[in-house]
Amino acid sequence: MQPVRGTRDLIGADARRHHHVAETARHTAGLYGFEEWFTPIFEDTGVFARGLGDTSDVVSKEMYSFEDRGGDSITLRPEGTAGVCRALVSNGLTQTLPQKVFYAGPMFRYERPQKGRYRQFHQIGIEVLGAAEPLADAEVIACGWQILNRLGVADGVVLEINTLGDDASRDAYRAALVEHFSAQADKLSHDSKLRLEKNPQRILDSKDEGDRAIVATAPTIDAYLTPEAAAFFEAVQKYLTQFGVPFRRNPRIVRGLDYYSHTAFEFVTDRLGAQGTVMGGGRYNGLVEEMGGPATPSVGWAAGMERLSLLMEVVGNNPQPPRPVAVIPQGDAAETPALALIQKLRQAGITAEIGYRGNLKRRMERANRQNARAALFVDEAGAIQLKDLDSGEQRAVSEDAAVAALGG
């Protein structure tokens, strides 16, 4: 039996890096006042179909949707934001704003698997729900940057930011793009011809070589921003500078989901091959309304845990399991005092292992395989010898002295 295409088992070093990513992100987000929410892994299909936009690839091609036994259309969540907004409304929290939410967990997209891209992957993410101020955008980004730093992967990762403007900016820009692309429509790829009608901005994101040439000469949004949208973007950049977060403007960022306006950003790297976006997000002011709530301006991001984990591997940041203490009974009659000792160690917070069987030699081999830092030899009278396995020093100790010496 093999795992389903695009899914992976995380074991050993992979599991440790994955765990470290989640713990580091959870802790760092806590420093910024984010609290963790746990929302279901599946939702009514409408949560995503309505929320993410039916012209997005995620909704049109990538959702794992199925009818359950009761005949309801269910979708495995392809991302976390829509579910968090749904939860805000379902739980009657739209009057207690802002809510600052952290989440971590599996997401599902039917994409072509490759390095850094899977069908079941995991995201960490944060959302500030109910804050219209540009300071919220900058704080969210600063938190992401701090997480990358704490993971030791910030080197070689660049923050690219853009503005998608407000509705009026967008309409004006859209018209300009339609004009630009229509003039060369016959040279556009099939997909981009379709996008021209439904969502011309998405053409800016096209990976097609022929499209790229036409995109290169397309206008940027700057000339079409309303004064308010331009001022908002200025303020976000000012705050980012105050937070000490380096960034670069990339006017071609459009993001793959339809709910964004104003700020859009991505942390990108060239260290992971084709899948170089490690974290992406932006402002979304209409999503909570789509879920039946009041207008609730919001901003957030999500990051692919597998990509962060791959980056940790690239820079050689591989968390090690704690080195255990090996408790070694000398003869069958020593098992009873050895078990009493090992429970004392564990209750004192010391990682300790006891082999289930084997002679002294076998048990020592096992201790070395586990990279044990110390061995405690116990005889049938309960006398203990503590051996430091790095220095080789050995001495007789009491139970309490063993616990104290090993850091309990």
Q: Where does this chain bind ligand HAM (CB under 6 A)?
A: 79-81, 109, 111, 116-118, 121, 123, 125, 127, 256-257, 277-282, 284, 300-304, 306-307
Q: Report the residue number, 165 or 304, with the smaller CB distance to ligand HAM.
A: 304
Q: Report the residue number, 67 or 155, with the smaller CB distance to ligand HAM.
A: 155
Q: Report the residue number, 211 or 266, with the smaller CB distance to ligand HAM.
A: 266
Task: For the beta carbon of residue 98, count every other beta carbon within 10 angstroms.
Answer: 18
Q: Which helix (H) or strand (E) holds 26?
A: helix 13-31
Least CB distance to ligand HAM at residue 98 (A): 14
Phi, psi of 278 (to 5 degrees): -95, -25
Closest-approach residue to ligand HAM (CB): 304
Nearest to 298 by CA among 136, 179, 102, 151: 136
List binding-site positions: 79-81, 109, 123, 127, 255, 259-260
| Contact assessment for residue 397 and residue 404, using Cβ atoms and an 8 Å cutoff | no
Least CB distance to ligand HAM at residue 85 (A): 10
Tokens 């556009």 appear where?
188
> What is the C-alpha separation between 131 and 143, in angstroms, rounded?
16
Nearest to 159 by CA among 269, 303, 299: 269
Q: Which helix (H) or strand (E) holds 268?
A: strand 261-269
| Contact assessment for residue 54 and residue 60, using Cβ atoms and an 8 Å cutoff | yes
Least CB distance to ligand HAM at residue 114 (A): 9
| Contact assessment for residue 301 and residue 141, using Cβ atoms and an 8 Å cutoff | yes
Least CB distance to ligand HAM at residue 202 (A): 13
Q: Report the residue number, 79 or 211, with the smaller CB distance to ligand HAM.
A: 79
Q: Report the residue number, 17 or 387, with the smaller CB distance to ligand HAM.
A: 17
Least CB distance to ligand HAM at residue 328 (A): 44
